[in-house]
Amino acid sequence: MRKDVLIIGGGPAGLLLAHHFQEHGIDYRVLERGKIAESWRAMRPGLVLLSPAVPGTDWTSLTLKHPLWAMPGVRKPFPTREDFLCYMEAFSREHGLNVGENIAATRIAVTRSSFAVGTTAGEMSCRFAVLATGASAVPHYPDVPEISLNPFVLHAGDFVHCMAYAGRRVLVIGGGNSAAELTIELAGTAKVTLCTRRPMRYFSETGELDDIRGSSESILKELIRFGIIRLREADPAVTVSDRRVRFLSGEEQEFDWILCATGYRPGLVPVEGGEMRTDPDGYPLISAVGETTLPGLYVCGSMARFNRRCAFIHGFRNYIEKVFWDIADRL
Ligand SMILES: Cc1cc2nc3c(=O)[nH]c(=O)nc-3n(C[C@H](O)[C@H](O)[C@H](O)COP(=O)(O)OP(=O)(O)OC[C@H]3O[C@@H](n4cnc5c(N)ncnc54)[C@H](O)[C@@H]3O)c2cc1C
């Protein structure tokens, strides 16, 4: 199969870019390794989004012509994961986007003035390829020797439900929203300690979306004040040996489980025949219009680090137009 543009990844970014190509009659196809918005399907049921979606303050919808809050049943400032998934499905269906589900891209090879994309459904080729595979593909662990190999350690992405930890001593590592949400969820059943690298930062004070925000902020503060959660602020774990953790302060403590809410890194599709250079965190280096160091290969969405806000929908949605227009101008 040959297309002018192949978009790899059918999450919010890939679908929004597809919408622009669709509207302008450009020949494209989205390849999605699972179902539409697969990364959101893997998140915890009931998760509440960090970013609001209401008329006037909409940080979550892909386009304001077709906003999330206009969906039947969505009338609260912060939508749930389920609201968002329904929105993604409706967005794709109503715009008639060309998405191939259950097709994973496995490699991208540079050929003469085009790309050959190896997939689980055979080889495809295109003039321009766009990686929209997201920034949450690979769990990121704190910088503690061999922590990811420890059988008592798990990543936030693997957490299912607090009842699995009832009565257990749990250490949550991390100082962001995920750490706060998991700590609160565990507080009623487990004995929880939260440890952070730096002093705690709250959205009400900094305005930064990745700082602890909303109801998590007030509940966390109260749980700490009541002594229900023990806080080791700016006292990170430095070594973990089985269940035993040594902190920067020199103190040691045993836990039954150690939960790392320390974020993710992008997962890149292997590239052959050219070099796609990346920054030290594994994000592709890009031009002002999202083109990587490999001409014709672009990135968009949360893996395109135009700036830090691009980790979020309201941060990346305008940049997707830059990617779109640059490709459209070159076709
Ligand atoms: C717990 C959590 C909560 C969050 N809450 C918010 C929030 O409230 N508001 C907000 O704006 N952002 C939030 N984010 C960030 C959110 O992930 C991004 O805003 C958004 O999903 C990024 O969209 P994306 O399309 O770039 O990547 P993703 O949503 O990760 O989509 C990437 C897609 O690519 C597919 N894919 C990956 N590899 C391949 C391959 N090789 N071949 C084919 N398909 C592939 C994946 O299956 C996936 O569907 C949150 C993230 C997490 C982890």
| CB distance 142 to ligand 1 below 6 Å | no
| CB distance 284 to ligand 1 below 6 Å | no
Rounded to the nearest angstrom, the distance between the alpha carbon of 136 and the centre of ligand 1 is 6
Give the model confidence (pLDDT) of 15-40 as tens digits: 999 999 999 999 999 999 999 999 99
Average pLDDT of the chain? 95
- What percent of the chain lies above the pLDDT cut of 90? 89
Q: How confident is the model at residue 212 (pLDDT cuts 50, 70, 90)?
A: very high
**Residues 6 or more apart whose Cβ sits within 8 Å of residue 196:** 174, 175, 179, 231, 232, 233, 234, 235, 236
Are 195 and 236 in contact by the 8 Å Cβ rule? The answer is yes
Which residue among 302, 306, 316 has the greatest number of ligand 1 atoms within 8 angstroms of its CB, and so is best to mutate?
302
CB neighbours of residue 254 within 10 Å: 11
* Predicted local distance difference test score (pLDDT) of residue 278: 96
Q: How confident is the model at residue 3 (pLDDT cuts 50, 70, 90)?
A: very high
Beta strands in 51-198 (DSSP E): 53-54, 57-58, 99-100, 105-111, 114-119, 122-131, 138-139, 153-155, 169-173, 191-195
Q: What is the token pair recorded at 53?
A: 């979606």
Q: How confident is the model at residue 264 (pLDDT cuts 50, 70, 90)?
A: very high
Q: How confident is the model at residue 318 (pLDDT cuts 50, 70, 90)?
A: very high
Q: Mean pLDDT throughout 227-244?
A: 97
What one-letter code names the amino acid at 64? L
* Predicted local distance difference test score (pLDDT) of residue 308: 86
Give the model confidence (pLDDT) of 217-233 as tens digits: 999 999 999 999 999 99
Are 68 and 40 in contact by the 8 Å Cβ rule? The answer is no
| CB distance 34 to ligand 1 below 6 Å | yes
* Predicted local distance difference test score (pLDDT) of residue 254: 98
